[in-house]
Structure 1
């Protein structure tokens, strides 16, 4: 959403509406910043942990008005992974009390969010049948659900009742009934697309709403009038046949409000059939959910309504509130990126807010590990890396940082903030490293804010930045640096051999035939316009990463015909973890980019490319191919690191150790700089 210029120019530094108090039923929130629920994978034994307490307390200390904790299971059948709190078990009560004490200390309200995923899960973890109103499998998990009986529905309701009871006993401020939004179980009952029942819970609008209203009523009975009861609903299911659209959700919101039992409505979007409406990675624009949320607000003017959906800036938040489109601003990822977002906005320190760039590393991280942010190393590590944990050094060192990509910038910033005398050397004329390539594609331009933020913060220190300067081992030693952090990154491989041929990767082996031609280039050369490309370009990928997507879109924007060829069964499968695979494939295919999977290049002969099926060995020829862009992985640029060993205190960070991800580069830089 673009904030009108006349509004943007009148927003005060303190954002008066955003930081005004608001009544939510029996409680008052100190401001209108609402931290919405999101998974953390900090769960231990189906319960909250000390890491949870540190995590939520950090955001409360950072100035949020309300926190809804992550979705909590109301029944054993809703376990997509082991890291889920069982809200229906009394063991949560003592930890609720610890959480509430930690959050209340900073004046924030704290709510539980009982929920059931329904068909949008599998039974792999709990070894139980998947529950759903009808036997319709989810497009992601594809497991055939068990149709809930009326007895099991009563069991489900009792799970919500117990969850509300323990939230009250644990000293929380209220309960947010979840499962309506995102296509979860209660939403499955509401939607004609997934509810094919013929009993009292199916068919008519009132029947499909029956279970939701019963759970809300019993939740209110359980917690009484002194605690908040709210609901999380959708504003739009998305382009799903038979799904619920904004007018349908407005009708549902009005029916819920008519009960007189809820104190607010929090609005989101999407189901697992249209996941980018839930997670909103770039290029989804900030504020993309506001239009549908405004329709909800229009039909329930008496209730506070929470707007969500990439609410990335305080300027946008103030505009939405001041224009009456919603009453509170819900956000998760911006507060993951910067726990102090509210305090910084309130104090007029907008440029200090570490931006959420929509990379969705937070989503990718929780697949196999606790929550993390692509450029905030403290997430889930608040006790050791959080706000106020960076100590000044007792002995200032003369520190050289070599390389101005994300790793080098982070190392230089942290070392300078600790009081070391820092000089950063970058051989190029610009900072940014490989992020300079990525942001060439309009789709991923926001990622450049990682470098922008680091650079801005570094400028506020005493660090010296020397651009266009290549540091050598002899010079660094001669200049008397006490410590050197090597962040020299990596460079793209161009030998042509896929990972299916490890023997060919040995030093001194020949390139694949034709890969020394002028029209066979690397992703760097393509994105930095360092090569002349004809109309037909082949992007060849052996990594499964985001790079082929970036370069393919960049070239298509410049009117090239683009074919992506990959050795893998799918183009860019790594994007499944960040939840934007489906949306990205749709965007590229609609742009006219073609995909060829399960093939490797056998050779290039001028404008002819020979492709080989990796399973059958069958060959086919593409011609004319005016250029081939290679994405085969990178080689660590570790020469300087080895040259300095034994001559000075030296540390390697990021790709010069092993070419990986932005997160790893920044994480390692943080740890090394703290240890200097």
Structure 2
């Protein structure tokens, strides 16, 4: 028996049957080695299969050398993938899970930096993100692409996979560029009418079905809408495309997503994008297709209750999720056995996206991601000897360390000087748009409640409190700097001076504002030197309370770190819509009562802004490490997170997990 009978019922997909309706959709892992799958891939996908997933579509795989946004891309058109497909299939099939390949081409949504090749597209229209002018595909080159898709299908079959999901239609990728009149300006056999724009897709589906035969699955990933792209494809257009593809009789399912790189939050949906934000478009397509063609829905479908409701209403047949299963690979098993409250939630922070810019996939609060063999399910071993362990600090790092150490059998005492746990995550969650981030610490607190950890709130631990413990973990975090200097003035950071006026009554830190400890007047300047998320968080928090807010930064862009998490555009649109103004390329010179003087970082020209009721500083934090140093030689001690060096939530939780395993 289960609380979610539809979610955990089997589903026929062409010639195969999925054991349940949970579908892990494709996403990059950056575990690729030499354009092929690695052993880390095997462990990563096997972990999700072990966790109860019914179907897995592996990451998008190149069908041609011209689609390499970075080195970590599988070459699905090379025979070398077959051997590793077999490893993957064996590992995943052991748990009754289906496994699919996803051949694809980015088209204009890339550049030639990595492969030193021209960008290929149906017409010479550059991408808004990559901005490289594409080469217009010739008909022989289109033939090369079709051949690449054919080879990808052939090798998927030979590798023992359960099928192929043809990608490149959705998200504004190459096949979607052929389909859309906004990006296909051709006048040959592949442009103009609907039928001509569809031709390359039909050719690829024909070749794919020929290669895999009748006993393997063929599916397609499409958009539900391009998301308001001028001249782009609407939900009605995509419905017509879906009907035309199904009418071939050669596809077994349709997976529906949304968006292009013109507005990437239509694809990824970071907080505060609501759960199920793509559902209506998906439901429209579902109701236009024959009942025997399963439709996969996506778009922050992150709770079993929502998933069950979608299936009950008939809005879709399968529930697709990626980030939810990155955060907790055991999501299906926990839901099925009635432990839904134990699911580690995806909070929409998009650290998974930010992480793959320079390293393998990671989750903001699941340290095991892409490291399943050392940190995954079943790897936490009991300590050979139970110790008395003190953890000082109840932020995310301290909570993680306390939980892991307790789960290993240690007797753990957690000290927190404030009356509540949560640290700076709890402060960020005071902003309505980031309330979901509270789920990071709420989950850890709930898990600690299932252990024997003794929590001492309102207790500022000193060295004398800790001398009787066998091990001490310092997670005391950091405090904001308020000297006002930008990092363009490194000497001033060490000479004890401050920007004139930053010590007066109306200058605050972000923490003071979010904690409700600041008396902020109507007009506020937020001065940022970090380029991080916190300035836009506090700016939006104040704008929501009807303050007039201006963000000032010495950088050429406000909060450029948000580019990596792909929510910069959406954040700008949201906060600019609330009246927040930007001043870039300026640093703070002085604050004199209600006047602020700024200087252009390039010319030195100064400007005075009057009627500024408050200034909020975001110039970095200072590690709170005094207790760590005081304990040296007194008791075995280690420091984690911001108490070592102020960084990110991810780093605090990562180091907390390692410390909990090492004590």
TM bucket by the smaller chain?
over 0.9
1:355 maps to what in 2? 345
Deviation at 1:520, TM superposition (A): 0.5
Name which of 287, 305, 322 aligns with 2:295. 305
For 2:581 and 2:427, locate their aligned partners in 1 and report how far apart those are by CA, in whole Å: 22
For 2:508 and 2:426, locate their aligned partners in 1 and report how far apart those are by CA, in whole Å: 17
TM-score, normalising length: structure 1: 0.98
Matches within 5 A, 1:581-592: 581-592=568-579
1:487 maps to what in 2? 475
* Superimposed CA distance per residue, residues 310-329 of structure 1 (whole angstroms, 9 cap, x where no aligned partner): 11101000000011000000
2:38 maps to what in 1? 49
Matches within 5 A, 1:228-247: 228-247=217-236
Name which of 285, 289, 308 aligns with 2:278. 289
Deviation at 1:14, TM superposition (A): 2.9
2:142 maps to what in 1? 153
Name which of 250, 263, 269 aligns with 2:258. 269
* Superimposed CA distance per residue, residues 322-372 of structure 1 (whole angstroms, 9 cap, x where no aligned partner): 110000000000000000000000011011100000000000000000000
For 2:485 and 2:548, locate their aligned partners in 1 and report how far apart those are by CA, in whole Å: 24
Say which SS state the counterpart of residue 302 (structure 2) adopts.
Answer: coil
For 1:396 and 1:550, locate their aligned partners in 2 and report how far apart those are by CA, in whole Å: 42
1:7 maps to what in 2? none
For 1:532 and 1:155, locate their aligned partners in 2 and report how far apart those are by CA, in whole Å: 65
1:6 maps to what in 2? none
Say which SS state the counterpart of residue 59 (structure 2) adopts.
Answer: coil
Matches within 5 A, 1:515-534: 515-534=502-521
1:541 maps to what in 2? 528
Segment of structure 1 superposing worse, 595-604 or 297-306: 297-306
Unaligned runs of 5+ in 1: 1-11
For 2:426 and 2:501, locate their aligned partners in 1 and report how far apart those are by CA, in whole Å: 28
TM-score, normalising length: structure 2: 0.99
Deviation at 1:301, TM superposition (A): 2.9
For 2:618 and 2:425, locate their aligned partners in 1 and report how far apart those are by CA, in whole Å: 16
Deviation at 1:67, TM superposition (A): 0.2
Matches within 5 A, 1:358-377: 358-377=348-367
For 2:516 and 2:379, locate their aligned partners in 1 and report how far apart those are by CA, in whole Å: 43
1:108 aligns with 2:102: no
1:397 aligns with 2:387: yes
Name which of 167, 171, 175 aligns with 1:182. 171
2:556 maps to what in 1? 569
For 2:357 and 2:197, locate their aligned partners in 1 and report how far apart those are by CA, in whole Å: 33
For 1:634 and 1:614, locate their aligned partners in 2 and report how far apart those are by CA, in whole Å: 22
Name which of 52, 55, 63 aligns with 1:66. 55
1:445 maps to what in 2? 435
For 1:318 and 1:127, locate their aligned partners in 2 and report how far apart those are by CA, in whole Å: 47
1:314 maps to what in 2? 304
For 2:518 and 2:320, locate their aligned partners in 1 and report how far apart those are by CA, in whole Å: 45
Equivalent pairs counted in the alignment come to: 662
2:601 maps to what in 1? 614
Segment of structure 1 superposing worse, 586-595 or 119-128: 586-595
For 2:631 and 2:371, locate their aligned partners in 1 and report how far apart those are by CA, in whole Å: 32
2:410 maps to what in 1? 420
1:336 aligns with 2:326: yes
For 2:75 and 2:94, locate their aligned partners in 1 and report how far apart those are by CA, in whole Å: 25
For 1:675 and 1:484, locate their aligned partners in 2 and report how far apart those are by CA, in whole Å: 12
Deviation at 1:170, TM superposition (A): 0.1
1:22 maps to what in 2? 11
For 1:435 and 1:158, locate their aligned partners in 2 and report how far apart those are by CA, in whole Å: 50
1:652 aligns with 2:628: no
For 1:458 and 1:153, locate their aligned partners in 2 and report how far apart those are by CA, in whole Å: 57
For 2:516 and 2:608, locate their aligned partners in 1 and report how far apart those are by CA, in whole Å: 27
Say which SS state the counterpart of residue 423 (structure 2) adopts.
Answer: coil
2:567 maps to what in 1? 580
For 1:111 and 1:329, locate their aligned partners in 2 and report how far apart those are by CA, in whole Å: 16
* Superimposed CA distance per residue, residues 418-455 of structure 1 (whole angstroms, 9 cap, x where no aligned partner): 00000000000010100121001100000000010000
1:502 aligns with 2:493: no
For 2:228 and 2:612, locate their aligned partners in 1 and report how far apart those are by CA, in whole Å: 37
For 2:605 and 2:435, locate their aligned partners in 1 and report how far apart those are by CA, in whole Å: 39
Deviation at 1:497, TM superposition (A): 0.6
For 2:167 and 2:230, locate their aligned partners in 1 and report how far apart those are by CA, in whole Å: 23
Deviation at 1:13, TM superposition (A): 4.8
1:133 aligns with 2:122: yes
Deviation at 1:245, TM superposition (A): 1.0
Unaligned runs of 5+ in 2: none
Q: Which runs of 4+ in 1 moved over 3 A?
A: none
For 1:557 and 1:279, locate their aligned partners in 2 and report how far apart those are by CA, in whole Å: 24
Q: What value does the CA root-mean-square deviation take over the aligned residues? A: 0.7
